[in-house]
Structure 1
């Protein structure tokens, strides 16, 4: 192609790298020659030669929960204009699956990895990353070269109890996640607030899904036990499942039972659902995590940084008839 355009190979390289050092006339000659020859530059090869792929790997725990879609939107907003592309993988509540996805990203030589909803250990993550910069979203990790971006989950749990207590509720249950998952701060915040108010806690485990929330409440209703007057659910999907079970038995929300979720997903905020929820600022988490990733790539040796945000209570019909 250099011969066909009447220029040197070095000049062709400058044109393909969009260097401003090339005159318009010579740029036009090279591009016209490339078009005539059907030439397309190998962008991956040029990126590898510069030791950058301009690609970021993003791992999500679950795409059935729209909070992760909100985080994704924040990430794409955060990297817009940076010249980076995003590669997405979906994990599961299985550290082995997550770690395999991280290893695949590293093998593909991404410049960094963002993890939303990671459930494994710090040591496992460090081993899978092999020095690749990373940002963990929704959880605080202590790993060299890994930043953390999250909302204060302990405060989220306490905020839910404080709200319900203020409305006069004293039998407040918490529909929690599985014991083995590392996301315990919402539970700890709930337990702390219940103790502060002198209330007896009631914990029930579910699987973070709408189906799981529905099953938990159906078991409550079938047991004949004294029902709580209010429930704080670990996430909005679980809360919506609880509301469905109550409606199917002719019970009202909040008249028979008040419900508070966590995540503030769009469907929960719909007037048709009216779910009171703790806003985790998912879009903001994604944007801040993206910027943290770009900063870490630019300065890989700096100490890990944790950015933690305050949650916000979004009161709607499910806990307050006047909302």
Structure 2
């Protein structure tokens, strides 16, 4: 059965535009409207008339989208969302997109089908223009990430500042060749943490060696593989800052297999402060994010949007903290 997403794709418009054509509440360019209607007819799309007529009734269901359900970072965020939702009398539907924009849009279309009341994105999984247009008429909150210039309500930390904090710690220990294993370049968080890394080096009067910036994918395996590459350089780094704890833990394994000691030969730092990060050996220096609070605060904001209540603020930036553990130390040349 065709969905609103299929109609939007065939008509080459956004889901928001299809919704406006169906509701008749907002004006749509006549040519665009005709294209949407033609697509609906071709696909034999029949929107749920009862749902459209009773759109003001609530399902008491909200959706939280994750890019990777296997990533342990999101477990505490989701727990915060679920607790907040239950307290407010809402049920939670969790969607795993595997980073697929098409999957994300299919879940988002459930709002237009009146099968859910609101949506929390734990990462921006589609382009900003689409998200801004979609969120203009629907209750949506972005958790964990912040998009510059966007009007979507957001709960996050300052990722640039937090990354800068980690690198400044390594610089203070005496490290000068600090590598950065970043996440996928298309992910906002990756670019923000890379910016913090660059800023810290530049503020210390150091040029960024682009060879020391390598892209991973937030997985243990990518941290392992990228670190093996870094250690093969003629002048390997004396410290590695990974954009998340999983890649940092993968880096630790690669360093050990290379016969090096942490932190005596090379320091490692991560980001997120996963539970396992205090149990690995050596324990991991990292940035602690208030993951539960991010989830809880984001669902509080979403429910206010669903209930058409005003928000005290649309951009909530929570505090992070640098947790210094055994994996970072003074480089050998400074001992």
TM-score (norm: length of structure 2): 0.76
State how 1:70-109 maps to structure 2 within 5 Å.
70-109=76-115
Stretches of structure 2 lacking an aligned partner (at least 5 in a row):
1-50, 331-335
In the alignment, the residues of structure 1 paired with residue 140 and residue 282 of structure 2 have an alpha-carbon distance, to the nearest angstrom, of 37
**How many pairs were matched up?**
274
Asked if residue 137 in structure 1 is aligned to residue 146 in structure 2, the reply is no
CA contact (8 A) 1:57 1:105 kept: no
| 1:1-323 map, 5 Å | 51-128=57-134, 131-141=137-147, 142=149, 146-183=152-189, 184-201=191-208, 202-221=212-231, 223-270=232-279, 272-299=281-308, 305-320=314-329
1:182–1:95 Cα change, 3 Å: farther
Match of 2:12 in 1: none
Aligned partners of 2:274 and 2:229: how far apart in 1? 26
- Paired residues of 2:110 and 2:116 also in contact (CA < 8 A): no
- Native 8 Å contact 1:143 1:304 kept in 2: no
- The answer to whether the Cα contact below 8 Å between 2:285 and 2:328 also exists between their aligned partners in 1 is yes
Quote how far apart the aligned CAs of 1:274 are.
0.7
Aligned alpha-carbon RMSD (Å) = 2.3
1:222-264 Cα shifts (integer Å, max 9, x gaps)? x342111111101011100000111112211111111110011
Structure 1 distance, partners of 2:311, 2:245, is: 36
Relative to the length of structure 1, the TM-score reads 0.78
Distance of aligned partners of 1:251 and 1:265 in 2 relative to their CA distance in 1, 3 Å threshold: same
Please tell me whether Structure 1 or Structure 2 has the larger radius of gyration of its CA atoms. 1
Instruction: Rate the CA distance shift 1:165–1:79 in 2: closer, same or farther, 3 A.
Output: same
For 2:269 and 2:111, the matched residues in 1 are separated by 37
